[in-house]
Amino acid sequence: MRGSRGALRGVHVLLGVPAHVPEDLVSSLQELARPEVAERMTTLTAQGTMPGTGLIMRSEKLIEAYGLAALGWRQEIGDPRAIIDTVGRRMADEDWFVTALWQPQYLHDV
């Protein structure tokens, strides 16, 4: 790919939690494995879109690498519009959840 080294500069794939989840409890992927955190999560899934995308493949690797799969965490695939609607609803309800995100993305400002 032409310019592939610089093409992705500043782009990051991550698993995100809403801002209302206390940062002193969840500020890293390792902390998702803490029992007191897992108990508060509405689901042990990270929502993401379209199988085979870089976002999904990277999220699955993160879930596996941080031992979250062994604790029941899984990547959930869904329609992009439905996921955005679900994130909005869950934010309004102040649910504790995880979603696959990339940066830059407008959901970081929600």
Please, which residues have CB within 8 angstroms of residue 23's CB and are 6 or more apart in sequence? Answer: none
Report whether pLDDT(9) > 80: no
The token pair that represents 43 in the structure block: 């689901």
Q: What predicted TM-score, i.e. pTM, was given to this entire model?
A: 0.71
Q: What integer pLDDT is reported at residue 3 of this predicted model?
A: 38
SS3 assignment, position 33 = helix
Query: What is the average pLDDT value for the chain, to the nearest integer?
Result: 76
Domain ranges of the chain: 11-109
Q: What is the pLDDT of residues 49-64, one digit of tens each?
A: 666 677 778 888 888 8
Q: What is the pLDDT of residues 66-103, one digit of tens each?
A: 888 888 888 777 777 777 788 888 889 999 988 877 66
For the domain made up of 11-109, give the CATH fold: D-Maltodextrin-Binding Protein; domain 2 (3.40.190)
